[in-house]
């Protein structure tokens, strides 16, 4: 999702200009909150990620070198904060590292072949349907989830997604494909059921 962003002077931020910081927060907090909420699915934790992201951004703005855009840099900080919080909440789980090697292809080979595109539009607009979309994203492994959110929900390009996550474009594309195929499987299961129910009604 591309929001319109205010003009921000990096120079002013680096010199500690509070007006400019407040503009930065108002212009960019929406995207970080959305990212955190989609990654974690919990409002309180998403708020923690939001606060920590801007605290870190304020502390480290001096290191920002404008090799990427300000929003890509903030997404990078936000993504790291979200992943750190997930690790803290579930220390017993070994999380797939962002830069780890890819696994075999079989796990994302399509198995669902119901055509649910024909469902009426109101089906896709229901709150139950929206909850199913969010739940499917949260079922993705973190290393696929973050790529999908940045690319397909936040609307970053493949290159920007790679910059935000320190991944090559090839790696971003591979993960994006896996994420999309897994989500298609999940949604196919959900909407197949909805299709059956509608036919019985």
Partner 1 sequence: MSDHEHSNCRALLGSLSDYVDGTLSQELCAEIEEHLSDCQNCHLVVDTLRKTISLYHQSAAEAGEVPALVRERLFRVLNLDDYIRH
Task: Count Cβ atoms below 10 Å from residue 30 Cβ, excluding itself.
Answer: 13
Q: Are 10 and 64 in contact (CB under 8 A)?
A: yes
Between CA 96 and CA 111 the distance in angstroms is 24
Residues 32-71 that bind partner 1 (CB under 8 A): 33-34, 43, 47, 50-51, 54-55, 58
Q: Per rule CB under 8 A, is residue 153 in the interface with partner 1?
A: yes
Q: Three-class SS of residue 120?
A: coil
Which one of residues 95, 98, 181, 195 is an interface residue with partner 1 (CB under 8 A)? 181
As given in the structure block, the two tokens for residue 30 are 């929406």
Q: Are 38 and 149 in contact (CB under 8 A)?
A: yes
How many residues touch partner 1 under the rule CB under 8 A: the total is 47
End-to-end CA distance of the chain, in Å?
36
Which one of residues 56, 68, 96, 116 is an interface residue with partner 1 (CB under 8 A)? 116
Between CA 38 and CA 178 the distance in angstroms is 18
Please report, to the nearest 10 degrees, the dihedral formed by the alpha carbons of residues 159, 163, 168, 172 taken in order: -60
Between CA 25 and CA 118 the distance in angstroms is 42
Q: Per rule CB under 8 A, is residue 131 in the interface with partner 1?
A: no
Q: Per rule CB under 8 A, is residue 195 in the interface with partner 1?
A: no
Question: Where does this chain touch partner 1 (CB under 8 A) — which range of 6-14, 24-32, 62-70, 85-93?
Answer: 24-32
Shortest reach from residue 46's CB to partner 1, in Å: 8
Which one of residues 12, 95, 133, 195 is an interface residue with partner 1 (CB under 8 A)? 133
Question: Where does this chain touch partner 1 (CB under 8 A) — which range of 64-72, 74-82, 115-123, 162-170?
Answer: 115-123
* Interface with partner 1 (CB under 8 A): 1, 18-19, 21-22, 25-26, 29-30, 33-34, 43, 47, 50-51, 54-55, 58, 105, 109-117, 124, 130, 133-134, 137, 148, 152-155, 173, 176-177, 180-181, 183-184, 187-188
């Amino acid at each position: 999702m591309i929001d319109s962003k205010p003009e921000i002077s990096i120079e002013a931020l680096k010199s500690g200009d509070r007006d400019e910081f407040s503009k930065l927060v108002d212009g960019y907090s929406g995207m970080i909150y959305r990212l955190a909420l989609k990654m974690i699915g919990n409002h309180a934790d998403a708020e923690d990620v939001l606060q920590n992201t801007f605290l870190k951004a304020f502390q480290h703005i001096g290191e920002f070198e404008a090799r990427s855009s300000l929003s890509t840099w903030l997404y990078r900080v936000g993504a790291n904060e979200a992943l750190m919080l997930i690790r803290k909440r579930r220390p017993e789980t070994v999380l797939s590292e962002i830069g780890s090697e890819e696994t075999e292809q079989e796990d994302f080979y399509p198995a669902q072949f119901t055509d649910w595109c024909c469902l009426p539009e109101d089906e896709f607009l229901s709150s139950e349907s929206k909850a199913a979309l969010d739940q499917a994203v949260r079922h993705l492994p973190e290393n696929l989830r973050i790529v999908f959110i940045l690319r397909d929900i936040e609307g970053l390009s493949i290159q920007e997604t790679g910059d935000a996550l320190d991944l090559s474009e090839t790696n971003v594309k591979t993960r994006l494909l896996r994420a999309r195929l897994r989500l298609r499987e999940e949604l196919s299961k959900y909407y197949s059921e909805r299709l059956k129910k509608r036919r019985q009604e």
